[in-house]
Amino acid sequence: MNRILKAFSLLSLIVLSTGCGSDDDNDIAPPRDYGVQYTAEKVLIEDYLKSHYVTVNTETFEATFDSIKSTGNPSIWDQTEYPLQSKTVTKNDVVYTLYYLSFREGVNESPTAGDSALLTYRGTLLNDKQFEYQPVTSVYSPFPSFQVLGFPEIIPLFKSGNYVDVPGQPAGFTDYGAGAMFVPSGLAYFNGSPSNLVPAYSPMIFTFQLLAVRYTDYDNDGVLNRYEVKEGINPATGVLYTVLDTDTDGDEIPDYLDSDDDGDGRLTRDEIRKPGTTNQFYDFDEIPVCTETGLKVHLDKNLNCVRSDD
């Protein structure tokens, strides 16, 4: 129980009171069946994609959506300049299709779902009414705090930009990743709401720019979160992971919040410390393994394992 309370206390430190992270002050509607609700919303989202077109500012990579009506513009669904893409996400036993657009991939680093990012974003409903806007700030948003799961699902598919500070000119970011996502309510607030501008069971559209990435170590165990979650693109391998709650020792505390990942009674920091040092740790790729199992020492419960650095 103490370990679980410790994890909750740690997680509370990273939760931000942003529109994408809290709906505590709003009424909660009675829950509907997730599958039935998504079936109805998928039709609405796809109708929107087929009846609206996208305009992208090629300098800022901000995007707007307008109804086709009689304009002759190709729909979001049909246009080829920014091909519509999708990712399958399973939650509450429902297989969701999460549609998104990539306006620019970015040039620098990709986060994982356990990291923090400097983002700008704009949220609208399918009636094109804006309900949220996050301008450029110096605040990095931790993905584990986001209630809208489109963010930790889609943002890791993009890369950050470069910070440019030239004397005599305004400092800012260039070449950052930018896109849009179309999020069903089951991957957002579902029967809740972030504000009185958003009814329950609202699909949402977010346009976004990924300016910068901050790799974090929430449990201060010496292993960055990006190596302890399986969500997003691992920058070291390029592999796309799909599981956020990796829990090596099965104690119901995900590894990125667990200071003893394998539950052997020794802190992870102690297991990955370089011999003969007090505060020098192996890089993740260099962490020794137990030769019998091939597991990295901080993930193997055998305290007497023969280490590859012995």
Distance (Å, whole) CA 26 – CA 191: 10
Q: Which fold has domain 2-214?
A: Chitinase A; domain 3 (3.10.50)
Annotated domain spans of the chain:
2-214
Tens of pLDDT, residues 126-163: 999 999 999 988 889 888 788 898 998 899 999 999 99
pLDDT band of residue 113 (cuts 50, 70, 90) is confident
Q: Do the beta carbons of residue 304 and residue 268 sit within 8 Å?
A: no
Q: Is 34 helix (H, G, I), strand (E, B) or coil?
A: helix
> Which value, in Å, is the radius of gyration of the alpha carbons in the chain?
22
Confidence band, pLDDT 50/70/90 cuts, at residue 77: very high
Strands 63-67 and 94-104: unpaired
Report the 10 Å Cβ neighbour count for 78: 13
3-state DSSP of 226-293? HHCCEEEECCCCCCEEEECCCCCCCCCCCHHHCCCCCCCCCCHHHHCECCCCCCCECCHHHCCEECCC
pLDDT, residue 310, reads 74
Question: In this model, does residue 3 exceed pLDDT 60?
Answer: no
pLDDT digits (tens, 9 = 90+) for 196-255: 999 999 999 999 999 999 999 988 999 998 888 765 444 444 444 444 567 888 888 888
At residue 24, does pLDDT exceed 70? no
Could you give the angle at the alpha carbon of 150 between the alpha carbons of 146 and 154, nearest 5°?
Answer: 115
